[in-house]
């Protein structure tokens, strides 16, 4: 590897025949030409000289009838000369150097964990209101003061911890428990939301009017919110609790055999924007007038120096893929598979907390559609709060 001095000044390789090695060395001594790395390679002798010395040495050798070969110039001057008409490359290099130096003292990203009810954006907005935002100097961030400010200002957070690692602020939160919605109901009964056979009850508040094994219909009273004897005053309360019963449900899914599907034409129109912190600068786009039918795909790729140093600089790419709608025919096997998939979705959405006891399936294939029917028995909570209307007694 050449000496760093040679690379910075620029150098080239001078070679002569092995028999002329002595003449070359004597020529350099007499004229004061400095050279490095003399070496024999087969029938040749080579030295390294900086570009200016190589030119003078070539002229002196020609005057003394010494045959030598001058190789191509290499080194930093040659690299810079090749970039003189490519301004974007040196500008990009300088920009990267600037970002690397600047990144040591700047917050580039905020990551939130522990939230379920609040969105990340809501918590980040609360942090910004209390003095923490992307682009702030890391030296000016006091996490203890910041945490106290957020807890005082926020009605949604019960606890927060802010940890700085690299250029990323890792925020861990614990949300306050959401209070039950108040509808102003003071007195209420529990009634059956649907018919079934009572199996058990949990956390009941109020007067229970049914027993395990009783069959009830929709709207039947399960737990009363009224207390008192027939000949005495009544006391009203809000009945609550869970009453589990065996219930019957029916589901039906119809999958057409002839349907319309998307067929992409291959025409994709693209927009690209440079993201710098919270600003976006569009630098490329061939969208023009978008086609009437297209899917939009929006992706963002941020640059990073490491896992903990994600730069607030990236590229947003928005692609509009054109498609047309064509008629298609679904095979019976594919229709059956799709019907079972939609049945599972339907059962899960209607009874997310119900327990399936048994089910029976029947299916029918016609010329137009595949029909899947399901009769199921569930264990579910059928208790529903129903307000007791109380009218004031007129004098």
Whole-number Å distance between alpha carbons of 37 and 250: 90
Spelled out in words, what is the top-level CATH class assigned to the domain 4-80? alpha beta
Fold of 84-179: Ubiquitin-like (UB roll) (3.10.20)
pLDDT of residue 341: 95
Cβ proximity of 325 and 261 under 8 Å: yes
Contacts made by residues 277-285, CB under 8 angstroms, sequence distance 24+? 277/134, 277/135, 277/312, 277/313, 278/134, 280/316
Q: What is the dihedral of CA 277, 280, 284, 286, to 10 degrees?
A: 140
Alpha carbon 263 to its chain's center: 28
Whole-number Å distance between alpha carbons of 205 and 211: 15
179's torsion region: left (phi>0), alpha (psi -120 to 50) or beta? beta
Largest Cα separation within the chain, whole Å, is 138
Residues, the chain: 395
Whole-number Å distance between alpha carbons of 241 and 385: 9
Segments of the chain assigned to CATH 3.10.20.310: 84-179
Cβ proximity of 343 and 251 under 8 Å: yes
Segments of the chain assigned to CATH 3.30.70.980: 4-80
Residue in 31, 1, 33 with CA at minimum distance from that of residue 14: 33
Q: What is the dihedral of CA 335, 339, 345, 347, to 10 degrees?
A: 180
Whole-number Å distance between alpha carbons of 6 and 51: 9
pLDDT of residue 256: 95
CA distances, 333 to each of 88, 294, 327, 361, 369 (Å)? 57, 30, 18, 16, 12
pLDDT of residue 395: 45
CA distances, 272 to each of 79, 149, 297 (Å)? 31, 39, 12
**Angle between helix 143-153 and helix 120-129 axes, rounded to 10 deg:** 110
Cβ proximity of 179 and 160 under 8 Å: no
Q: Which two tokens stand for residue 196?
A: 């079934």
- The HSE-up count of residue 226 (CA atoms within 13 Å, CB side) is 11
Give per-10-residue mean pLDDT for the chain (395 aa): 69 88 88 86 86 86 86 78 66 69 73 89 91 84 90 90 86 79 69 94 90 93 80 78 94 95 91 82 82 89 66 84 93 94 91 89 94 95 86 51
């Amino acid at each position: 590897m050449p000496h760093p001095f040679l690379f910075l000044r620029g150098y080239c390789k001078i070679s002569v025949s092995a028999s002329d090695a002595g003449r070359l060395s004597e020529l350099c001594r007499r004229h004061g030409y400095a050279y490095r790395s003399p070496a024999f390679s087969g029938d040749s002798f080579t030295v390294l000289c900086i570009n200016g010395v190589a030119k003078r040495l070539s002229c002196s050798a020609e005057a003394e009838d010494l045959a030598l070969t001058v190789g191509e110039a290499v080194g930093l001057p040659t690299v810079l000369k090749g970039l003189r008409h490519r301004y974007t490359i040196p500008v990009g290099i300088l920009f990267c150097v600037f970002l690397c130096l600047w990144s040591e003292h700047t917050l580039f990203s905020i990551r939130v964990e522990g939230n379920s009810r609040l969105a990340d954006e809501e918590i980040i907005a609360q942090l910004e209101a209390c003095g923490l935002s992307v682009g702030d100097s890391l030296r000016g961030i006091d996490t203890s003061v910041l945490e106290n400010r957020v807890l005082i200002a926020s009605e949604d957070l019960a606890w927060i911890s802010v940890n700085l690692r690299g250029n990323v602020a890792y925020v861990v939160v614990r949300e306050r428990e959401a209070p039950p919605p108040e509808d102003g109901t003071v007195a209420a009964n529990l009634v059956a939301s649907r018919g079934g056979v009572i199996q058990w009850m949990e956390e009941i508040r109020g007067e229970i009017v049914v027993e395990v094994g009783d069959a009830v219909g929709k709207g039947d009273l399960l737990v009363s919110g009224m207390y008192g004897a027939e000949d005495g005053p009544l006391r009203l309360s809000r009945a609550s609790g869970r009453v589990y019963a065996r219930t019957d449900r029916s589901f039906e899914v119809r999958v057409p055999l002839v349907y319309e599907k998307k067929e992409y034409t291959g025409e994709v129109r693209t927009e690209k924007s440079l993201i710098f912190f919270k600003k976006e600068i569009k630098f490329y786009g061939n969208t023009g007038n978008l086609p009437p039918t297209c899917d939009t795909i929006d992706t963002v790729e941020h640059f990073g120096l490491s896992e903990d140093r994600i730069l607030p600089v990236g590229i947003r790419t928005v692609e509009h893929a054109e498609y047309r709608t064509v008629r298609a025919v679904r095979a019976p096997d594919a229709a059956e598979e799709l019907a079972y998939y939609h049945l599972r979705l339907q059962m899960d959405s209607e009874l997310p907390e119900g327990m399936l006891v048994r089910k029976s399936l029947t299916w029918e294939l016609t010329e137009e559609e595949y029909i899947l029917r399901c009769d199921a028995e569930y264990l579910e909570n059928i208790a529903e709060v129903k307000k007791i209307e109380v009218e004031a007694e007129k004098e």
